[in-house]
Amino acid sequence: MLVVEHPLARARLTTMRDARTDSAAFRAALHELTVMLIYEAMRDAPVRIERIHTPVARTDGYRLANPPLLVPVLRAGLGMADQAHKLIPDAQMGFVGLARDEETLQPTPYMESLPEDLSDRPVLVLDPMLATGGSMVHTIRLLANRGATDVTAVVALAAPEGIQLLEDSGLPVRVVTASVDERLNDSGYIVPGLGDAGDRQYGSV
Ligand SMILES: O=P(O)(O)OC[C@H]1O[C@H](OP(=O)(O)OP(=O)(O)O)[C@H](O)[C@@H]1O
Ligand SMILES: O=c1cc[nH]c(=O)[nH]1
Ligand SMILES: [Mg+2]
Task: For 30-55, write each residue's pLDDT tens digit.
Answer: 999 999 999 999 999 999 999 999 99
Centre of ligand 2 from the C-alpha of residue 143, in Å: 22
Residue 51, pLDDT score: 98
The overall average pLDDT reported for the chain is 98
Residue 16, pLDDT score: 98
Task: Indicate the pairing of strand 69-74 with strand 92-93.
Answer: parallel
Could you tell me the CATH number of the domain that includes residue 176? 3.40.50.2020
In a domain, 197, yes or no: yes
What's the pTM value of the predicted model, to 2 decimals? Answer: 0.98
Contacts of 204 (CB under 8 A, 6+ apart): 196
Angle at 173 between CA 170 and CA 179, to 5 degrees: 115
Owning domain of residue 110? 2-45+65-202
In a domain, 146, yes or no: yes
In a domain, 40, yes or no: yes
> Considering the chain, what percentage of its residues have pLDDT values greater than 90?
99
Task: For 108-134, write each residue's pLDDT tens digit.
Answer: 999 999 999 999 999 999 999 999 999
The answer to whether the CB of 72 falls within 8 A of the CB of 94 is no
**Nearest ligand 1 atom, CA 107:** 4
In a domain, 51, yes or no: no
Residue 89, pLDDT score: 98
Residue 135, pLDDT score: 98
In a domain, 151, yes or no: yes
In a domain, 52, yes or no: no
In a domain, 84, yes or no: yes
Contacts of 134 (CB under 8 A, 6+ apart): 100, 105, 106, 107, 165
How many Cβ atoms from other residues are within 10 Å of residue 204's Cβ?
7
Cα separation, 162 vs 136, in Å, equals 8
Is the minimum distance from the CB of 202 to ligand 2 under 6 angstroms? Answer: no
Task: For 49-85, write each residue's pLDDT tens digit.
Answer: 999 999 999 999 999 999 999 999 999 999 999 999 9
If one counts the domains in the chain, the total is 1
By C-alpha distance, which of 107, 153, 114, 108 is closest to 134?
107
Active site residues: 100, 104, 196, 199
The answer to whether the CB of 69 falls within 8 A of the CB of 96 is no
> Considering the chain, what percentage of its residues have pLDDT values greater than 70?
100
CB burial string 103-115: b at 16+ within 10 A, e below: eeeebeeeeeebe
Task: For 7-23, write each residue's pLDDT tens digit.
Answer: 999 999 999 999 999 99
In a domain, 54, yes or no: no
